[in-house]
């Protein structure tokens, strides 16, 4: 017997009521969460109301005075520290690059052990825990510790970037390896190759495009992260920015932030091009 129109309508009504009730429950939960968070975060609307204009005023002050008549001179005055800043930005990019390469290499070594299809269970668990630890501790926390151990300067920053990158990339690389075709691994093994050789010749060639393109993405992120390491004394442009903010050198703040933005945009463009190249080469290889 097929259900009558009335039954269908009744069921529909019931479903709608249940849905509405669920939505209301979520909404209530959300409102409570906002309330609790606002309480803990010490947000009061009066402070917000006077905070926002102050923030706006602060940002307005960082805008340099550029007059049309004396544009060249004003611009030069605004960018008075250009050569120092560009030098520090190059440092920042270099810290990010070196950290990314070393971290990616360490992550790659660990990623084979962390791939569930390639390694025994104990190795997978061990490698995954280690990678998890390395990527959950923020780069800045590593930097704070390394500045103590290795002294102030870019070396501590580079090492912090490398360690965090190892954790972040190791996990992604392991996922790439897990997607690899296992027949090549068997081929290497049956030809008498060791496990390491099977990884090198059976898995890596398949994963390489993914590995490189994740590595490039991470490099972009690391350039952003390296730009703040100087705040804790770990090298790069961050220290100059910190000083400018601390000493209320308003136009310097906007100059440095703009330079960071420019650098980040440039690196992003470059990496995007390289990524297209890699993926393009991959498409050629498959077809």
CA distance 261 to 255: 10
With respect to other proteins, which residue has the nearer C-beta, 182 or 257? 257
Query: Are the C-beta atoms of 227 and 238 separated by less than 8 Å?
Result: yes
With respect to other proteins, which residue has the nearer C-beta, 188 or 264? 264
Contact flag: residue 86 with other proteins (CB under 8 A) = no
CA distance 78 to 69: 15
CA distance 46 to 151: 44
Q: Residue 77 corresponds to which tokens in the numbers above?
A: 């005055």
Q: Residue 172 corresponds to which tokens in the numbers above?
A: 């992604």
Contact flag: residue 16 with other proteins (CB under 8 A) = no
With respect to other proteins, which residue has the nearer C-beta, 66 or 102? 102
Closest CA to 222 of 186, 268, 282: 268
Residues whose CB is less than 8 angstroms from the CB of residue 150 and which lie 6 or more positions away in sequence, other chains included: 156, 159
Query: Are the C-beta atoms of 65 and 74 separated by less than 8 Å?
Result: yes
Among 86, 155, 197, 204, binds other proteins (CB under 8 A): 155
Among 265, 270, 272, 273, binds other proteins (CB under 8 A): 265
CA distance 245 to 240: 9
Contact flag: residue 239 with other proteins (CB under 8 A) = no
The total number of residues written for the chain in this structure: 287
Query: Residue written as tokens 């008549």?
Result: 69
With respect to other proteins, which residue has the nearer C-beta, 70 or 136? 136
- Annotate each residue in 109-138 with x if it binds other proteins (CB under 8 A) or - if it does not, as one string: ------------------------x--xxx
Query: Residue written as tokens 């209301």?
Result: 24
Footprint on residues 24-83 left by other proteins (CB under 8 A): 33-34, 36-43, 47-48, 51, 54-55, 57-59
Count of residues interacting with other proteins (CB under 8 A) = 68
Query: Are the C-beta atoms of 158 and 189 separated by less than 8 Å?
Result: no
With respect to other proteins, which residue has the nearer C-beta, 132 or 178? 132
Contact flag: residue 95 with other proteins (CB under 8 A) = yes
Shortest Å distance, C-beta 76 to other proteins: 24
Can you give the binding site for other proteins, defined by CB under 8 A? 33-34, 36-43, 47-48, 51, 54-55, 57-59, 91, 94-95, 97-98, 101-102, 133, 136-138, 140-141, 144-146, 148-151, 153-155, 157-158, 224-225, 227-228, 231-232, 235, 238, 241-242, 245-246, 248, 253, 257, 260-261, 264-265, 268, 274, 277, 280-281, 284
């Amino acid at each position: 017997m097929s259900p009558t129109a009335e039954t269908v309508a009744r069921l529909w009504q019931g479903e709608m009521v249940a849905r509405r009730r669920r939505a209301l429950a979520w909404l209530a939960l959300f409102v409570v969460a906002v309330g609790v968070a606002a309480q803990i975060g010490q947000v009061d609307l009066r402070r917000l109301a006077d905070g926002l204009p102050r923030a706006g005023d602060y940002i307005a002050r960082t805008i340099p005075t550029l007059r049309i008549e004396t544009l060249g001179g004003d611009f030069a005055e605004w960018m008075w520290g250009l050569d120092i800043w560009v030098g520090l930005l190059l440092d920042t990019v270099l810290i990010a690059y070196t950290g990314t390469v070393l971290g990616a290499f360490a992550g790659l070594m660990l990623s084979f052990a962390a791939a569930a299809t390639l390694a025994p269970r104990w190795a997978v668990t061990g490698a995954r825990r280690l990678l998890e630890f390395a990527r959950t501790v923020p780069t800045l926390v590593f930097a704070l510790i390394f500045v103590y151990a290795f002294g102030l300067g870019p070396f501590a920053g580079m090492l912090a970037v490398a360690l965090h990158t190892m954790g972040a990339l190791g996990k992604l690389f392991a996922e790439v390896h897990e997607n690899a075709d296992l027949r090549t691994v068997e081929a290497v093994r049956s030809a008498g190759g060791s496990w390491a050789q099977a990884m090198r010749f059976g898995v890596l060639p398949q994963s390489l495009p993914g590995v490189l393109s994740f590595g490039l993405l991470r490099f972009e992120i690391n350039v952003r992260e390296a730009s703040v390491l100087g705040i804790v004394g770990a090298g790069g442009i961050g220290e100059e920015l910190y000083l400018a903010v601390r000493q209320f050198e308003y136009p310097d703040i906007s100059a440095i932030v703009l330079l960071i933005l420019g650098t980040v945009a440039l690196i992003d463009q470059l990496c995007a091009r390289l990524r297209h190249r890699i993926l393009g080469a991959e498409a050629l290889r498959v077809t």
